[in-house]
Amino acid sequence: MWIFNSAFGKIFKLIFFPFRGMNPWVGMILISFLTALLMLFVFRFSSNQEGIRRVKNKIKAHLLELRLFKDSLSLSFKAQRNIFRYNLKYISYSAKPLLVMIIPLILILIQLNLWFGYEPLVPGQETILKVELEEGRSPLDIDLALEPSAGFDIQTLPLRIEEESEIDWRLRAREKGVHDLTFIVNGQRLTKKVAVAQKPLSKISPMKVRRSFINELINPGESPLPRDLPIKTIRVKYPAKDMNLFGWNIPWLLGIPPWLIVYFVLSIILGFVFKGIFKVEI
Amino acid sequence: MGTGPFFRNSKPYSFCFRKIQGPIKKRNLPPFVFFFILLLSFSLPLQAYVGPGAGFAFLTSFFILFLTFFLAIFSFLSWPFRFLFRIIRGQRAYKKSSINRFIIIGLDGLEPTLVEKYMSEGKLPNFSKLKKGGTYTKLQTTIPSISPVAWSSFMTGSNPSKHNIFDFLSRDPKTYLPDLSSARIGKPKKTLPLGKYNIPLSKPEIKGMRKSVSFWKILGQKGIFSTILRVPITFPPEEFKGHLLSGMCTPDLKGSQGTFSFYTSDKERIKKREGGINIPVTLNGDKVETYISGPENSLRRNDEEIRLPLQISIDNDKEEALIEVSGQKFKLGMHTFSGWKKLTFHPGLGIKIRAICRFYISQIHPHFEMYLTPLNLDPEKPALPLSHPFIYSVYLAKLLGSFITLGEANDTWALNEGVISEEAFLELTYSNHEEWEKMLFNAMDKTKKGLITCVFETTDSIQHMFWRYLDKSHPALQSGQANMSANVIEDLYQKMDELVGKVLDKTDEKDVVIIMSDHGFKSFRRGMNLNSWLYLNGYLSLQEGKKESEEWFKDVDWENTKAYALGLGGVYINQKGREAKGTIHPGEETKALKRELIRKLDGLKDDERNAIAINKIFDRDEIPSGPYLDNCPDLIVGYNEGYRISWDSVTGKVNDIAFEDNIKAWSGDHCIDPRIVPGIFFCSKKIKIESPSLIDIGPTALELFGFQVPSHMDGRSLIDIQNFSLEKNRKEEKK
């Protein structure tokens, strides 16, 4: 899985490379455009284009019927019933491309979360480093040490919380750069990357996880932890990234982060804009 | 702590993961299946589900639902107000109505003698049923008995002098050139020259020439709803309370009455073709690079034709071709019509002009030959208005699919000119018919009260092109295609009977159904070149040294011409003060010349066949008068059965042959003495008049809906409304 993650991650690195120093909106527009193209491609080749066209025409016809027969209440209701019926059919026609799209889309979203989800730390900023152990493992029994780093000050001794099976440190960022935090666990050395004051568009991995298909799929930012160690995750808390539109910070919506809202809106708009050019019925 | 910004109010991925990881591992499912289960249960995919791809579908879908909901609420809440408004305005339209629906099915040119014959043979059960329960009789047509004239009289309830339509063609007395009698389509009056473009600053002129008021417009003013489908001379569509789709005389995208394209690699087949153009092609291996000939580009100063590139790749083994045009590719087998294909022409400045057409490959070996229908205005995005309201044609196209919009829908010229076979013509014609049937039944389903009128020209076209099979002595049987039999006509009548049956099935006692034709049909064996006769008899002169004239009187010496023929039945006196180079004074001199012509032409004999060619000449001073009588030809020729004006005479050609055999497939006609080509009239109710006329149908509709017939109408109501109401009451009491 790590090989896949590494390769897939490199594609995104390549895509965003020229835009790293620019406002994140530039990268967001680009990736939304590429996503729109991908979605149009999937829709074109996996959906029943003729069926969608036919059903959409029927819906439009019945909408026009509402205008043409506005004096007849019974015809208006019939038209509404037909609109609803064809709408369901339309949704059923969209189901196949949705199923096809869902896998690439999740992979893309996971990658985008690394690029647009977090703000790097700034020198002087404090954060919490948290090591989560496997269930039932007491943090008091484990031999775990965090080595001092040039990039960070370790501000506290390890806090071992037995109920949560975790060990926490408070850190303060000292220097710009991507630093390695080094742990020694049962005599084995582990590293976790921490980003301080990066370019406006940077990849940030908040969590390193133990090797497993799903863990690695969802957290592709760093190589996995070995399975033979009692550590499940190593996590650094980063602030969430804002998407600022002409001075207005796009807010969270029902728990959905701003970048995801922007990404959805932009890719949908661009999809609709380019559907005519690529002759895709959606 | 540790919650990523992905979901501010949810747990981090690992927490969710932890919950499902255990059971999955226990079941030892493969990672891929596990992954899918994860997708369905995990919060991230749910958000992906409303993401860009899904968003396309769901946004559209939700938008439609929202719009529907909004419209439903609006419609529901506003209905009582609209109802009240109608009451306040005194438009309780159906209060005095004796019926719910008045349904008129026009079967253009259905011939009474054939209907009677087939009915007596038991081949038209539905017509017979109508006759038995109601009325069957012949229907008086107009003078002349030509569809645009007849249908204009039908819709206005008045004689031609009141509605201004006397023929397909009218003439411009200043130029002696023909004009379409029903509509004028002109370029925008104001333009701004800009480089190679002429930017229009005003709308193009689209003007209907038919005068007077249709009875559905009068009904609309009283609040009665109508659906009018394909009635001739309804282009441009007029505003009224109801829906209207224009019929005969609606132009194609080129502005003509239908111009087909014939692609051929056979040089010997390139010749002048009426109603169409040849496009020679060269086979480069198996490929043909050619074009579709579009309309003139009125945006450009030089009015050049807009063309669309057309590529055809031929597969000789499969006998099919891959056609690439206007951004679409499709395969088409030989002897198969494509569906309607949408074309987009680009005249410039980002403007798009849309058309629809159908392709038909008639030959691959030894030469490639392909027929392309005239470029119909796309009903979804028409370049000219096709319907009232404008969205009605859009609605029909969205609901039922693209459909033919050209007025002269059935391409009789393509068959006449040998470009398509008889079989192909029939297939195309019945395909058009099917589209109109769908429209009719949609209108019947949607109209619970009001008027529904639909005219089918299928009957007219097929009889024009196949009548020779009923006439064993027809000259066209000896030349040209003759692969069919009289069954074609019989089949046509039986198909129309089925249509009548389907209509009757959708009606009840509260509906009145009329099945009618505007005129009948007779054989067209011999053509008379009236202009040649006028020339041979000294009424029309040619320029010095000329013994014949090319089209449109090109070589006529007007200064020495007394009379000329134009259109399908008209003769005009070359009158001073009216015609540009008139020679005959109005008043007594004109009257004398008319008398002289009537004397010579009435009962004129075709010596070669020893038969009467002309039954009667109708003097315009003797036909019913009206405000537009001045536009009527001075004389209208009533040909005998078997005769009609010749093809050359219609187009203003002059030579020394007055009579000639008609050897074209177009072998039946009705542009003759109206007294011998009445139409048919079936009604689901008894009528009070023995010999009804076309002009009586409008007044009948008005009276049945409870309104007085306006004084300008010449027709009378056919149904005794008092008896009808009594009969209705009795039936209701019985129930």
DSSP string, B600-617: HHTT-EETTTTEE-EEEE
Contact yes or no for B1 and A76 at CB 8 A: no
Closest Cβ opposite residue A117 in set B4, B38, B68: B4
* Same domain (yes/no): B605, B649: yes
Is residue B190 included in any domain, yes or no? no
CA distance B40 to A93: 19
In this structure, what token pair is assigned to residue A83? 């609109």
Identify whether residues A113 and A130 lie together within a single domain: no
Compute the nearest-CA separation of B54 from chain A (Å).
6
The answer to whether the bond into B188 is cis (omega within 30° of 0) is no
Asked if the Cβ–Cβ distance from B44 to A109 is below 8 Å, we say yes
Strand, helix or coil at B357? Answer: strand
pLDDT at position B441 is 98
Q: How far apart are CA A140 and CA B186, in angstroms?
A: 95
Same domain, A108 and A166: no
Residue B371 in any domain: the answer is yes
Same domain? B32 vs B71: no
Domain that holds residue A138: 126-236
User: Does residue A208 fall inside a structural domain?
Assistant: yes
Domain boundary among B387, B404, B435: B387
Please report whether residue B576 resides in a domain: yes
Note whether B564 and B615 are same-domain residues.
Answer: yes
Q: State the Cα–Cα distance between residues A121 and A282, nearest whole angstrom.
A: 42
B607 and B723 in a single domain? The answer is: no
Residue B349 CB neighbour total at 10 angstroms? 9
C-alpha–C-alpha distance, residues B547 and B654, integer Å? 8
* Percent helix, strand and coil across chain A, each to the nearest 5: 45, 20, 30
Q: Is the same domain home to B161 and B127? A: yes
Q: Which tokens is B496 given?
A: 């129309």
Tell whether B4 is covered by a domain.
no
Across the interface, of A215, A255, A263, the residue whose CB is closest to B7 is A255
User: What integer pLDDT is reported at residue B3 of this predicted model?
Assistant: 34
**End-to-end Cα, chain B, rounded Å:** 81
- Could you tell me the CA-to-CA distances from B580 to A264, B459, B474, B549, B584 in Å, in that order? 71, 40, 41, 19, 12
Read off the CATH number of the domain in which B501 is found: 3.40.720.10
Contact between chains at A76 and B75 (C-beta distance less than 8 A)? yes
My answer on whether A225 and A262 are in the same domain is: no
Please, are residues B429 and B423 in contact by the beta-carbon 8 Å criterion?
no
Domain shared by A16 and A93, yes or no: yes
- B631 and B554 assigned to the same domain: yes
Query: Given the DSSP bridges, would you call strands B359-363 and A207-209 parallel, antiparallel or unpaired?
Result: unpaired
Residue B231 forms part of a structural domain: yes
Tokens for B515, please give them. Answer: 């099945």
Residues A102 and A10 in one domain: yes
Same domain, B534 and B585: yes
Tokens read off for B164: 């201004």
Q: Compute the average pLDDT of residues A80-96.
A: 89
Cross-strand pairs, B353: B345
Cβ neighbours of A35 in B, within 8 Å: 52
Query: Are A135 and A224 members of one domain?
Result: yes
Whether A54 and A150 share a structural domain:
no
pLDDT at A214: 86
Across chain A, mean pLDDT equals 90
| Chain B, nearest residue to A34 by Cα | B52
Residue A88 has pLDDT above 80, yes or no: yes
Residue B358 lies in a domain: yes
**Could you tell me if B373 and B262 lie in one domain?**
yes
Residue A90 forms part of a structural domain: yes
Tell me the per-residue pLDDT of B348-360, one tens digit each, with 9 for 90 and over: 888 899 999 999 9
For residue B359, what is the enclosing H or E element? Answer: strand B359-363
Domain stops at, among B631, B656, B676 = B676
Q: Do residues B124 and B107 lie in contact, with contact meaning Cβ atoms separated by under 8 Å?
A: no
Residue A47 lies in a domain: yes
What average pLDDT score do residues A173-194 get? 91
Q: How many CB atoms lie within 10 A of CB B4?
A: 22
Give B554→chain A minimum CA distance, Å: 50
Tokens for B694?
């076309």
Do A167 and A87 lie in one domain? The reply is: no
Residues of B in contact with A42 (CB under 8 A): 53
The low-confidence residues of chain B, meaning pLDDT below 50, are: 1-50
Looking at B386-528, list the stretches that DSSP marks H as alpha helix, in order from N- to C-terminal side. 391-400, 412-416, 422-446, 458-466, 487-505
A170 and A211 fall within a common domain: yes
Question: Cα dihedral angle (B49, B53, B55, B58), rounded to 10 degrees?
Answer: -90
The bridge status of strand B563-566 relative to strand B135-139 is: unpaired
- Domain assignment present for A281: no
How far apart (Å, rounded) are the C-alpha atoms in residues A11 and B165? 73
* Other Cβ atoms within 10 Å of B641 Cβ, number: 17
Phi-psi region of B610 (alpha: psi -120 to 50; beta: other; left: phi over 0): left
Question: Rounded distance, CA B269 to CA B226, Å?
Answer: 48
Look at B64 and A70 and tell me if their CB atoms are within 8 Å. no
Per-residue model confidence (pLDDT) at position B732: 64
d(CA A113, CA B98): 72
Question: Per the CB < 8 Å rule, is A98 touching B49?
Answer: yes
Check: CB of residue A235 under 8 Å from CB of residue A129.
yes
Please give the residue range of the domain that contains residue B80.
Answer: 52-89
Residues of A in contact with B64 (CB under 8 A): 59, 63, 83, 87, 90
| B337 and B351 co-located in one domain | yes
Nearest to A214 among B1, B38, B395 (CB): B38
Mark whether B556 and B670 lie in a shared domain: yes
CATH of the domain at A167: 2.60.40
Give the number of domains in chain A.
2
Write the CA distances from B690 to A39, B136, B156, B489, B686, integer angstroms: 70, 10, 21, 28, 10
Specify whether A135 is located in the same domain as A28.
no
Judging contacts by C-beta atoms under 8 Å, the chain A residues touching residue B75 are: 66, 70, 73, 76
Average pLDDT over residues A202-211: 93
pLDDT in tens, A132-156: 999 888 998 888 999 988 889 999 9
DSSP, collapsed to helix, strand or coil, labels residue B287 as strand
For residue B654, the model assigns a pLDDT of 96
Find chain A residues with C-beta within 8 A of B35's C-beta: 213-214, 217
Q: Pseudo-torsion of CA B714, B677, B635, B570, nearest 10°? A: 110
Please count the residue pairs, one from chain A and one from chain B, whose beta carbons lie less than 8 angstroms apart.
Answer: 196
**Do B371 and B509 belong to one domain?**
no
Distance, CA of B503 to CA of A76 (rounded, Å): 24
pLDDT for res B40? 42
Under 8 Å CB-to-CB from B469, ≥6 apart: which residues? B477, B482, B484, B485, B486, B487, B488, B489
- The tokens for B155 are 């819709």
Question: How far is Cα B292 from Cα B287, in angstroms, rounded to an integer?
Answer: 16
Q: Are residues A79 and A185 in the same domain?
A: no
Contacts of residue A168 in chain B, CB cutoff 8 Å? 1
B321 φ, ψ (degrees, to nearest 5): -140, 150
Which whole-number Å values give the CA distances from B522 to A278, B422, B516, B647, B734, in the listed order?
Answer: 55, 20, 17, 17, 46
Do residue A150 and residue A105 come from a single domain?
Answer: no
> Is A177 inside a domain boundary?
yes
Per residue in A191-201, pLDDT (tens digit) is: 999 999 888 89
* Same domain, residue pair B104 and B244: yes
pLDDT number for residue B307? 95
Q: Is residue A261 part of a domain?
A: yes
Selection from A196, A147, A206, A189 nearest residue A172 by Cα:
A196
The pLDDT value given to residue B60: 66
pLDDT of residue B304: 87
Note the pLDDT of residue B733.
65
Asked whether residue A280 is domain-assigned, the answer is no
Number of domains chain B is built from = 5
| DSSP β-bridge partners for residue A154 | A171
